[in-house]
Structure 1
Amino acid sequence: MQQSAVPELAHSHTRPIHWVATATAVAGVVVLSSLLQPRPATAAQPGTGTGTPDDRPAATAPATTGIDFPLDCGPVDELVIHKASGDLDGDGRPETVAAVHCDAPMGTPPDGVYVLTQGPTQTHARVVATLVDPKDRTTVTSLTVTDGAVLATYLGYSSSDVPSCCPDLKDTAKWQWKDGVFVRSTPAGARSA
């Protein structure tokens, strides 16, 4: 029988200490890799420290909680049913648009659509515009902010003779900030029923 030219290696037979050493090494790699993760990506670029708008922290849209909406709900609470956010006036800070009604136990109460803003020094948001007044007897079915414009689809009534249970109109409206006011228009392709 011929002897091998390579001497027998001491670690060719596994022992429990080898498994412990391997497990310790793998655990160390896992811990180290979790500590060395890259920072999450963001859409905003870091500021240059020159006092430019890029140095300001990203503004958040105003919250709808704690707002005193101009609704008279009596003993029931106000209920925000739709909301959307975006920069409506081009100042770099987002506004929030909210469709709100009274949380009535029966029936379908009319909605109001309000614009909320929060200035750089304010701690609480405030209502700055009413786009749809609850007196108009409308029910908002969708609300979005796209390209600085508010778009809403709503149900309404052709006359005061139409029962509240059965709105007979479906309409769409668009509001755009122009010359210090929200100007209402009908979006292209909108239809009434």
Structure 2
Amino acid sequence: MQHPAVPELAHTHTRPIHWVATATAIAGVVALSSLLQPKPATAAQSATPDAKPAPTTAPSTADVDFPLDCGPEQALVVKKATGDLDGDGTPETVAVVHCDAPMGTPPDGVYVLTHNPGHTHARVVATLIDPKARNTVTGLTVTDGAVLATLLGYSTADVPSCCPDVKDSARWQWKDNTFVRSTPAGARSI
């Protein structure tokens, strides 16, 4: 019989105590790994060092290109209200705008503005009232995510622009990715 060059090592023979020690070590690793779990996955993108936090202030009406043809005159913001209209936690601005005409009362347009990522000025995302409707907005508020407006208008095209003869109330609510207009019952008068 030939003897090995290296003496026998005591730990090369398994004994029941080795199995108990191995089982205890594995149980400890499993127990520790169940305590140290990663955060659950979400669909939201994680913030990167370059990411900017969501704006907490409503967008300004300054330098906004309103879809209003004023010819040589300037667009004039006459009323505005702010609030979170779509429930995303970021406020929007609702602006009543008309042309700065030297005479008369030009019709108003009502526009919803939101922040424009990567730009210094806001952008128009919705037109609630087109100036072609010939309305004048006398009241504007944002309440509970809804835009409320009081409108003066005309019953027919024959009514002179100086003398609106219809007073109306309108409400817009964000629903299914669009602003839905409703009129409170009994809100119209002549």
Q: CA deviation at 1:58?
A: 5.8
Give the Å deviation of 1:123: 3.2
Q: Is the 8 A contact 2:62 2:121 kept in 1?
A: no
Aligned 8 A contact 2:152 2:164 in 1: yes
The equivalent residue for 1:94 is 91
The structure number with the bigger radius of gyration is 2
The one-letter code sitting in structure 1 at the alignment partner of 2:78 is: I
| 2:175 corresponding residue in structure 1 | 178
Cα RMSD between the aligned structures? 1.9
Instruction: Give, in whole Å, the separation in 1 of the partners of 2:148 and 2:115.
Output: 21
Kindly provide the CA deviation profile for residues 64-98 of structure 1, in whole angstroms up to 9, marking residues without a partner as x: 01000001101111110110000000000000000
TM-score (norm 1): 0.68
The whole-number CA distance in structure 1 between the counterparts of 2:116 and 2:141 is 22
Q: Percent identity?
A: 75
Quickly say closer, same or farther: Cα 1:128–1:58, change in 2 above 3 A.
Answer: closer
**Alignment length, in residue pairs?**
141
Q: Deviations over 1:98-156 (max 9, x none)?
A: 00000000000000000000155543210000000000000000110000000000100
1:147 is aligned to 144
Residue 151 of structure 2 aligns to a residue in which SS?
strand
4+ residue runs of structure 1 moved beyond 6 angstroms? none
Whole-Å separation in 1 of the counterparts to 2:114 and 2:184: 24
CA distance in 2, matches of 1:89, 1:172: 21
Unaligned runs of 5+ in 2: 1-45, 48-52
Name structure 1 gaps, 5 residues minimum: 1-49
Q: Secondary structure at the match of 1:106?
A: coil
Matched, 1:78 2:75: yes
Letter paired with 2:154: Y
Aligned mates of 2:148, 2:158 — CA distance in 1: 28
DSSP 3-state at the match of 1:162: coil
Q: 1:175, 1:164 → 2: CA distance?
A: 26
* d(CA) in 1 for partners of 2:54, 2:111: 26
CA contact (8 A) 2:114 2:122 kept: yes
